[in-house]
Chain A
């Protein structure tokens, strides 16, 4: 054990240590083009962050095998963004000034993006949000874009799909996680859609992403006899809510928002997941060569279908790689200064068109993603209630 006297010197040496590191400057592109990745590897956002890290690493390996950026490989500089704003900002700062990255994929949460993206904007470093879906993210600045489609487009499709399954449905109950920016934005769209379609909104129930027991909310909603329940939440809470609604006797349709589009909810609600309609920005069924390879690689390693967050992180890296290629074709990357490279990379990102695992995407001049297709899937569980899959609804 550390003796009392050694404690302070240890502390101090730690600090000096990091000063020394900070002052080292890195060689340009000898080890590959540094691309920053800030995702939640700790805190309770890690469930989402871990899926994203897998996607980013898969992309690094895949695109480097394909020859990287016209022969030069990319090198991911991974930093833990945690679940809070301060950590994300610190991670951004480290990557921008110390690792000299050309661009950043991240952070995991919308709230973190509002904090950290302005840092990158001021430093003129292009940022791609892999999972930030709240309103006004691309508007933070010229260098901020995202591959994660805002829910506004996805949500109405799901309600339409539900109407197709049950044309007589009338009463709708809405649930959302009030402490989650993603769910809060999404529910507004869902509620608007319900009104636009002249359905009756019988109740809006709020919960927290940390909640586990939904007995109160579930029975309150069930007592109003809704035909459709729409849930905006994340995997653990959403899965539990579905399970408890079903166990308490609800038999109508359920729509899960985009936050529930992960196979992580399957173990939570098990056989009760069956029949849930999910709004998707990514579907494993997307039919293009890159998604086929992506899906096969993922399934081979992890024995389940790739989740949306993994796919979006993968697509984010792809956009960076292809935009870097475009820059390199105009002017050799090694001939550009870091500032020039970052600026031209940003322009290239926004002007390109990409065939990704998400289907075809491009960007508006503001940096909002334009995604060609969205998907609505229905969960089908097998008899054991252990395995299930998202089947694409036409």
Chain B
């Protein structure tokens, strides 16, 4: 394999991996605190993309209850992105109140949150479809200003092309990880979060209100999901209400590979899966999906706690 091809595949891997990573960040955050998997994460991701689309003045298609509707005002993309993500965060809090908290209060089997969050995901996806139909929605292509569609990392004669949107996603991903790592390890809130994650009862004895931190976690997770949904949507369009759900399974693989509940782990897991898929020889492109799960499978057998996960008391 010559260097040029290698570099192209390597950058391909990073570019795809950063999408997996940005999806997985909010996913893993909820796990790190509650020790449960939030199956509705993909749905919140989708919801965030639709929120931003609506706020930035997007028009709906002619299916669904809100056919041909649009908001009376139109926000600039970046304002819409921030507001949309906040709305997704609020939706995530609502999700926690309706589908997670009641189970926690009743001390139900933690497995049951798989079912209740799946139920919530079914509701969100179908409400979206009921309201705005199954059409594909697209952000205008100048939302990031007048940037070139792709960047050449190679030479004129041997180009190595990566789409600019992917580079942006990669950058945002890096910033979020840095911020989150600081938030968790460098601030008081983070210490308290860790305490709640470690042991809720002890944390509450120390005067930390676990419920408050669970709410914060869901908000941040939803915010990240909304942000990720919009960014990915700006890269590849919002392909209907099932848009985020199709990332869910891969996202699950990513957070397990990286280590459940580990924030840098989610990023490394995402990039690794992206790289693994990029280096699948073209003749075996049909098996690309299987390869990521084969790696996951082997990884679990060799090191169940994932790359960066800690051995911990089993919560689920």
By a beta-carbon cutoff of 8 Å, the part of chain A in contact with chain B is 42-44, 46-47, 49-50, 54, 178, 203, 205-208, 210, 212-213, 215-217, 219-220, 222-223, 235-237, 239-240, 244, 246-249, 264, 267-268, 270-271, 301-302, 385-386
Contact call A236/B237, Cβ cutoff below 8 A: yes
B282 at the interface (CB under 8 A from A): yes
B136 at the interface (CB under 8 A from A): yes
Contacts A213-B15, A219-B161 known; 19 new A-B pairs at CB < 8 A: A44-B134, A44-B240, A47-B136, A210-B246, A212-B236, A212-B237, A216-B278, A219-B12, A222-B161, A237-B239, A239-B237, A246-B149, A247-B149, A247-B150, A248-B150, A249-B159, A270-B141, A302-B62, A386-B140
**Residues from chain A with Cβ under 8 Å of B236 in the complex:** 212-213, 240
The contact size tier of chain B is 35 or more
**Residues from chain B with Cβ under 8 Å of A178 in the complex:** 286
**Residues from chain A with Cβ under 8 Å of B198 in the complex:** none
A42 to B123, CA, bound (A): 12
Partner of B138, one of A50, A212, A268: A268
Residue among B126, B237, B242 with the most chain A CB within 10 A?
A: B237
Q: Tell me whether chain A's interface is mostly helix, strand or loop, or mixed.
A: helix
Partner of A220, one of B141, B150, B242, B282: B282
12 cross-chain CB contacts under 8 A: A47-B135, A205-B285, A210-B242, A215-B163, A216-B16, A216-B278, A223-B5, A247-B150, A247-B161, A247-B163, A248-B163, A301-B62
Given contacts A223-B5, A302-B62, contact A50 B149 (CB under 8 A): no
- Nearest Cβ in chain A — how far from B253, in angstroms? 14
Contact call B240/A47, Cβ cutoff below 8 A: yes
A353 to B280, CA, bound (A): 51
A236 to B159, CA, bound (A): 27
- Nearest Cβ in chain A — how far from B155, in angstroms? 13
A326 to B168, CA, bound (A): 62
B91 at the interface (CB under 8 A from A): no
B96 at the interface (CB under 8 A from A): no
Q: Which residue of A lies closest to B158 (CB)?
A: A223
Q: Which 4 A-B residue pairings sit nearest by Cβ, starting from the closest?
A: A236-B239, A46-B134, A212-B236, A247-B149
- Nearest Cβ in chain B — how far from A232, in angstroms? 14
A113 to B127, CA, bound (A): 27
Q: Which residue of A lies closest to B281 (CB)?
A: A220
Contact call B289/A208, Cβ cutoff below 8 A: yes
**Residues from chain B with Cβ under 8 Å of A215 in the complex:** 12, 15-16, 162-163, 166, 278
**Residues from chain B with Cβ under 8 Å of A219 in the complex:** 8-9, 12, 161
Partner of A50, one of B133, B242, B282: B133
- Nearest Cβ in chain A — how far from B111, in angstroms? 20
Contact call A249/B62, Cβ cutoff below 8 A: no
B137 at the interface (CB under 8 A from A): yes
A385 to B163, CA, bound (A): 18
- Nearest Cβ in chain B — how far from A45, in angstroms? 9
- Nearest Cβ in chain B — how far from A209, in angstroms? 9
Contact call A264/B129, Cβ cutoff below 8 A: no
Partner of A267, one of B8, B62, B137, B161: B137
B201 at the interface (CB under 8 A from A): no
Contact call B12/A249, Cβ cutoff below 8 A: no
A268 to B135, CA, bound (A): 11
**Residues from chain A with Cβ under 8 Å of B9 in the complex:** 216, 219
- Nearest Cβ in chain B — how far from A268, in angstroms? 5
Partner of B239, one of A212, A246, A385: A212
A149 to B180, CA, bound (A): 54
Contact call B240/A236, Cβ cutoff below 8 A: yes
Contact call A47/B161, Cβ cutoff below 8 A: no
**Residues from chain A with Cβ under 8 Å of B278 in the complex:** 215-216
Contact call A203/B163, Cβ cutoff below 8 A: no
Partner of B240, one of A46, A267, A270: A46
Contact call A267/B136, Cβ cutoff below 8 A: yes
- Nearest Cβ in chain A — how far from B178, in angstroms? 24
**Residues from chain B with Cβ under 8 Å of A239 in the complex:** 136, 237
A210 to B126, CA, bound (A): 18
A239 to B238, CA, bound (A): 12
A248 to B286, CA, bound (A): 22
Contact call B237/A240, Cβ cutoff below 8 A: yes
Contact call A213/B16, Cβ cutoff below 8 A: yes
Contact call A267/B163, Cβ cutoff below 8 A: no
**Residues from chain A with Cβ under 8 Å of B159 in the complex:** 249
A42 to B126, CA, bound (A): 8
**Residues from chain B with Cβ under 8 Å of A212 in the complex:** 19, 232, 235-237, 239, 246
- Nearest Cβ in chain B — how far from A196, in angstroms? 23
Q: Which residue of A lies closest to B140 (CB)?
A: A386
Contact call A268/B136, Cβ cutoff below 8 A: yes
Partner of A249, one of B5, B161, B246, B285: B161
A247 to B126, CA, bound (A): 33
**Residues from chain A with Cβ under 8 Å of B149 in the complex:** 246-247
Q: Which residue of B lies closest to A384 (CB)?
A: B140
